Amino acid sequence: MPEARGGAPFFEEVNVTFDHCNSVQALIDVAVMVPPFQRFTYRVPEEMLTEVAPGKRVLVPFGSRRVIGLVLGTAETPPSTVGIKALIDVIDDQPIFPAVLVPFFNWVADYYIHPLGAVIQTALPGGLALAGQTSYRLTEAGQAALSERTVDPADQAGLSVLAKSPCSYQRLRRLSKGRIRRADLERWIKKEWVLRRSELPADRARPQYERIVHAVPGGAASIRRSPRRERILALLQQYGFMALSDLKKHVATAADLVRAMSRDGQVQVTQRPIYRDPLGEPILPDSAPALSDEQARAVTAIGASLGGGYDAFVLAGVTGSGKTEVYLHLADATLQRELPVLVLVPEIALISQMARAFRARFGERVALLHSGLSQGERFDQWRRIAQHQVSIAIGARSAVFAPFERLGLLIVDEEHDDSYKQEGALRYHARDMAVVRARLQEAVVVLGSATPSLQSIYNVNNGKFKRIDLLARVDHRLLPRIQVQDLGRLREERGLRRFLSPELMAAIQAALARREQVLLFLNRRGFAGALVCAACGQPMLCEHCDISLTYHRRINAYQCHYCGHSRAATAACGRCGGARILRLGVGTEQLQSEMQRIFPAARVARMDRDTIRRKGALIEILKALRHRTIDILVGTQMVAKGHDYPHITLVGVICADLSLNLPDFRAGERTFQLLAQVAGRAGRGESPGHVILQTYNPEHFSIIAARHHDHVAFYRQEIEFRKALQYPPFTRMVQLRINGPDKAQTAEQARRLGEHCTRIRMQNPEYGRIEALGPIEAPLARISGQYRWQLLLKGAQVGPLHRLVRALLSAFNRPADVQVTVDVDPLFLM
DNA sequence: AGCACGCCGACT
DNA sequence: GTCGGCGTGCTC
């Protein structure tokens, strides 16, 4: 094939060539699944034309290698400067995602400034072997060199790691604790001590099948009979067909017998896919209860838009107003139009609750997608959606990529929750993407929350979203009474009395006497808050993170909450060597043990990251609460998240200020949401709720607004503050993060990036109104041994910001171990 | 990421 | 002159 280089006459000839071999449609765009993860154009050989389809994996030549790519569609703009290669093979029989997702993937790649192939990789369930695995193995020469000790002592250690077994580079790095570097491997390969083998491995996640045995007409009349065969034939006569696994329960040797019988023509065997069921326990079906007038109005209002193209709603329902029931009715209405429903929930723990409700109403039509599933389970759920076998999917943020070909309704529950923001290589916000996906697929999107984000309320006021309120709690339950206690007046007290006001203590006592449940919220896990040397006042810092350690009594150690590193609690002060370390403040661990001491008869439990680490532990706590085998629950902010605790009447907020004092412009919003949410946990049953909110800042507007359940007042003040300081939603932000293992080098590269940025901004008037803050050292200057710098870009329009960042990144050459990541619409500026 | 290519200094 | 070290840049 001639290269389409050069002038017009040549161009025509190319077209003639295309016409001649009838292959104009035979050019396809493929996203390669190895760096640089970009889209490339390939030619499809004639014999593969019928097989190729968007969403299928293909094997393509790439440089001197063969790699896996994903078909995006026919090429729109064939590249004119390079020769186009032909693809080698089509891997899949069925597409692994529908073609309609391609524009969505493109949008995500553009908006978040991330390579298309990498976007698709994050979207797909794991185990699809998208990248060829490269493994390294010690050669005989390497073995010899190692045993003869002719190698450099520095290489000795690395090579002996490799001597144990061949493995991948990543595993190698882990096994050698990061001491083996890429350059070492390349050097060893040159010396022929090490062999690199690149292979395209089999999928780890494969469909599972079960064998179905069918009766054959006249089969029973066949020659070979035996009592066991008779039994099998009789069972098949009765049921028509049976799974082989069920047959085995009746006839232990069924597997062999059936094979023989199939040969003799007595039965017929077919295969049918089975799905590993992530929902272990059976769920009793329920039927739709009657809606309140308010709920019914919400369903009618939103339901009117179903099937009529894109529309977006904010469903603002106070805690306990029955949003889930509205979702269920809307889902039902959507299914009646034969359109699928996608439900996003902020975290795994809440998925089971939502899934239960949906399963009870819709049975087997529900798929689950989240990271708690095994790779095989996730693959199965994904495939059931892609093959139209389910019409509802419930999942965490990555489920926004669920492979629905058509979509009627997208629900984002607890839309204000920051867990929707993914903080990996691709930093996306699942709520924002849900809105975009709804627009692209002409679906209705519902953002539900008791405390809608400032962003969403702003969009309502802009006319972008429609707002629907649920103001009443179900069964006319009242919102809890909130009482504020000033912690300042307890400053002179010693020990726990500093943190527990007499009013809170009395309320706990009274609630326990009434046999009601108490929730105590403290946004700090561990035993004590701060660790300070008694001699010199130096705080205990993590060796890898420049972050204060926290004392954990259960393991009797100081622990870093950022990298997990811990030191024995006998460790001395890092500065003066002083042995006496003061433990100031209080954490959930201490609060729990103090509560147990003060109320010995009460059953006290704790819910924080430490106690729910074990799989199923959270469910157990929730169950125990429901069965009233817990009297006092102590917990961190996870207790505020949407769980339904029907028997809790008293909520104590130990210190409402912990999230207020963070150096982040969203601190006020987070505090208000947290307080409103945690207060909402009280009084969801028949008894009224009571909340005691302790704070050092009783006059702060976030606290006052929370106290009066006054969302409007909070919004009005917060939006003024954002406007005055030109923060989102009035401006758009992109944050560039510069990370590296070396302090000076990271600082130097950050400075260079800043200079590049200034130069580009000066060159083009389009960037004139973009503000660059930094580069500055990040507030968390080091995490897990990585030094962190940041450059924050702020502008009125997202377009110029995007273009500036793209120009900046393409002009910036960085050393291999310094990383630059892009965070569009950053949520955490630390 | 991997691989080729091209440029330097150290050897046959 | 050739080998092999590493920095640079491309992959349809």
Per residue, the 3-state secondary structure of A314-325, as one string, reads: EEEECCCCCHHH
pLDDT at residue A684 in the model: 78
- In the predicted model, residues of chain A with pLDDT beneath 50 are 1-24
CA of A149 to C1' of B12 (A): 27
A241 in contact with nucleic chain C (CB within 7 A): no
CA of A557 to C1' of B1 (A): 40
pLDDT at residue A15 in the model: 31
CA distance A722 to A735: 18
For C7, which residue's CA is nearest its C1'?
Answer: A815
CA of A143 to C1' of B11 (A): 27
Nucleotides on strand C lying under 7 Å from protein C-beta: 4-6, 9-12
CA of A65 to C1' of B2 (A): 8
Ramachandran region, residue A649 (left: φ > 0; alpha: ψ -120 to 50; beta: rest)? alpha
Angle between helix A430-440 and A101-111 (nearest 10):
140
> Distances from the Cα of A368 to the Cαs of A82, A276, A346, A373, A620, in angstroms?
44, 11, 13, 9, 20
For C6, which residue's CA is nearest its C1'?
Answer: A183
A816 in contact with nucleic chain C (CB within 7 A): no
CA of A141 to C1' of B11 (A): 23
A40 in contact with nucleic chain C (CB within 7 A): yes
The nucleotide lying nearest A196 (C-alpha to C1') is B2
pLDDT at residue A222 in the model: 58
Protein contacts of strand B with Cβ less than 7 Å away:
A 34-36, 63-65, 134, 169, 182, 196, 198, 816
Long-range contacts of A368-374 (CB under 8 A, 24+ apart): A368/A278, A368/A279, A368/A393, A368/A394, A368/A395, A369/A125, A369/A393, A369/A394, A369/A395, A369/A396, A369/A398, A369/A399, A369/A402, A370/A395, A370/A396, A370/A398, A370/A399, A371/A396, A371/A398, A372/A348, A372/A615, A373/A278, A374/A276
Helix-strand-coil percent breakdown of chain A, rounded to 5?
35, 25, 40
Beta strands at A208-215 and A366-369: parallel, antiparallel or unpaired: unpaired
A183 in contact with nucleic chain C (CB within 7 A): yes
CA of A67 to C1' of C11 (A): 11
The nucleotide lying nearest A62 (C-alpha to C1') is C11
CA of A95 to C1' of C12 (A): 22
CA of A132 to C1' of B3 (A): 15
Phi, psi values for residue A80, rounded to 5°? -105, -10
**Amino acid identity, residue A596?**
Q
Tell me the two tokens of residue A578.
């002083």
**Amino acid identity, residue A513?**
A
**Amino acid identity, residue A741?**
P
pLDDT at residue A9 in the model: 25
CA of A188 to C1' of C2 (A): 21
A812 in contact with nucleic chain C (CB within 7 A): no
Tell me the two tokens of residue A637.
């902010």
Whether A642 and A670 have beta carbons less than 8 Å apart is answered as no
pLDDT at residue A132 in the model: 65
Query: If residue A382 lies in a helix (H) or strand (E), which one and from where to where?
Result: helix A375-386
The nucleotide lying nearest A189 (C-alpha to C1') is C4
For C5, which residue's CA is nearest its C1'?
Answer: A187
For chain A, what's the residue count? 830
Whether A635 and A520 have beta carbons less than 8 Å apart is answered as yes
CA distance A307 to A146: 69
Task: Give the residue ranges of DSSP H helices in A570-661.
Answer: 588-598, 617-626
For B1, which residue's CA is nearest its C1'?
Answer: A35
pLDDT at residue A230 in the model: 86
Phi, psi values for residue A612, rounded to 5°? -110, 15
CA of A193 to C1' of C6 (A): 19
Beta strands at A366-369 and A392-395: parallel, antiparallel or unpaired: parallel
A577 in contact with nucleic chain C (CB within 7 A): no
The nucleotide lying nearest A85 (C-alpha to C1') is C12
CA distance A411 to A413: 6
Nucleotides on strand B lying under 7 Å from protein C-beta: 1-4
CA distance A785 to A591: 32
A186 in contact with nucleic chain C (CB within 7 A): yes
CA distance A141 to A551: 51
The nucleotide lying nearest A42 (C-alpha to C1') is C12
A191 in contact with nucleic chain C (CB within 7 A): yes
A280 in contact with nucleic chain C (CB within 7 A): no
Whether A828 and A788 have beta carbons less than 8 Å apart is answered as no
For C8, which residue's CA is nearest its C1'?
Answer: A813
CA of A467 to C1' of C3 (A): 73
CA of A63 to C1' of B4 (A): 9
The nucleotide lying nearest A132 (C-alpha to C1') is B1
The nucleotide lying nearest A813 (C-alpha to C1') is C8
For B2, which residue's CA is nearest its C1'?
Answer: A65
Whether A519 and A588 have beta carbons less than 8 Å apart is answered as no
Neighbour count for residue A506 (Cβ, 10 Å):
11
A50 in contact with nucleic chain C (CB within 7 A): no
A5 in contact with nucleic chain C (CB within 7 A): no
Classified as helix, coil or strand, A824 is: strand
Tell me the two tokens of residue A401.
């990529």
CA of A12 to C1' of C11 (A): 27
CA of A186 to C1' of C4 (A): 13
DSSP letter, residue A445: E
